[in-house]
Amino acid sequence: MAEYYLGLDIGSTASKCVILDGGGAVVGSAVVPAGVGTSGPGRARDAALAAAGLAEEAVTRSAATGYGRHTWPGADAVSELSAHALGAHATFPEARTVLDIGGQDAKVIRLGPTGRMEAFLMNDKCAAGTGRFLDVMARALELRVEELEAKDAEAVSPVSISSTCTVFAESEVISQQAKGAPLPDLVAGIHASVAARAASLVKRLGLTEPLVMTGGVAQNAGVVRALERELGVAVRVSPLAQLNGAYGAALYAMRNQDE
């Protein structure tokens, strides 16, 4: 009988699901912008199963990761760090540093040559430098987070955002806008602020190249470019970006099947 492995990443802001076939190829995936404590996880699972053309019974084993991983019965729970390390190593076997910026935290993981996690650092205390910062700023500027990247590309002279606190930075952005700062320059300044926070986390752990970026914020090329400028190195973006944790969880379920 064909085997399928399901990985669910129950995040703070979004639920992600990836389904692998017995050979480890992605056969279905889904992202639902609703996280832990909502119908998001169930909807993400159902949408990924539908994309793969599978019924729930076809799944051999499941694993859950993310903030809400313990809220999902019937699945192995795998830590976010392990899931992200597994996913990034499978996508980029040469990756040595993984930076994941999600909706509520940012983490940086150093991998050994075989993909084993050697060290990590996490910022989960402060919204600055996370997707939440971008969500707040986008709302203040009446944009969707998906629109930030295109605005950034039009920037001429990024506005410097001096506050590191999200609440103060939001007031600063609003007052700069009232003074007539062009929208693209404001957006580029916001991206530079997120990149500066992420870069300092990476530098505190120590940067070993190549650096791979994952998580929802990796879909924003404006942040990726700002990070490259800040660190002076190329940043590789996982094609699975926001799905990387769910992909790692599915790989975990596949490897755990004989236990």
Q: How many residues bind ligand ADP (CB under 6 A)?
A: 21
Q: Pick between residue 129 and residue 216 the one whose CB is nearest to ligand ADP.
A: 216
Q: Pick between residue 91 and residue 242 the one whose CB is nearest to ligand ADP.
A: 242
Of 56-64, 114-122, 216-224, 250-258: span binding ligand ADP (CB under 6 A)? 216-224
**Taken in order 213, 214, 219, 222, is the CA torsion positive or negative?**
negative
68 near ligand ADP, judged by CB under 6 A: no
Q: Which residues pair with 120 in a beta bridge?
A: 109
242 near ligand ADP, judged by CB under 6 A: yes
Residues 86, 96: Cα–Cα separation, whole Å? 12
248 near ligand ADP, judged by CB under 6 A: no
Three-class HEC string of 43-109: HHHHHHHHHHCCCHHHCCEEEEECCCHHHCCCCEECCHHHHHHHHHHHHCCCCCEEEEECCCCEEEE
Give the tokens for residue 53: 């053309």
166 near ligand ADP, judged by CB under 6 A: no
To which H or E segment does residue 22 belong? none
Q: Pick between residue 54 and residue 235 the one whose CB is nearest to ligand ADP.
A: 235
Span 118-157, contacts to ligand ADP by CB under 6 A: 131-132, 134-135, 145-146
Residues that bind ligand ADP (CB under 6 A): 11-14, 35, 66, 102-104, 131-132, 134-135, 145-146, 215-217, 219-220, 242
